[in-house]
Amino acid sequence: MSDTIQCHVHGEQQETFVCQHLAESLETGEKVGFFWSGEPRGDAWCSECEVVRVREGGASGHWNERSEKALGIEILCGACYDRVRELQGF
């Protein structure tokens, strides 16, 4: 079972991780793309971060210090994560 966090909107929820741009899109409604690890509510990032990931990690797509810095990972509650994904059309 994953860790939980207390969301000021949704109460106690699963803890999820997204890049700063996806977290921001929740406020702005901006379309920034949506990529994720493939697991339900897996770590997610935007198109901009995807470009950096591929540039830094090559074919294997491994994250490194530079691409992780671009991510600026933020914690979201599971319900907020679902809202972001829906907002981005996934």
Q: Does 53 bind Zn ion (CB under 5 A)?
A: no
At position 59, the amino acid (one-letter code) is: A
- 74 sits in which H/E element: strand 74-77
Beta strands 4-7 and 44-45 are: unpaired
- How many residues belong to the site for Zn ion (CB under 5 A)? 11
Q: Does 80 bind Zn ion (CB under 5 A)?
A: yes
Which range in 14-22, 34-42, 51-59, 60-68 contacts Zn ion by CB under 5 A?
A: 14-22
Figure out which of the listed residues 79, 82, 85, 87 binds Zn ion, where binding follows CB under 5 A. Answer: 79
Q: How many residues are there in the chain?
A: 90
Backbone angles phi and psi of 35, in degrees to 5: -125, 140
Q: Where does this chain bind Zn ion (CB under 5 A)?
A: 7, 9-10, 19, 21, 45-46, 49, 77, 79-80
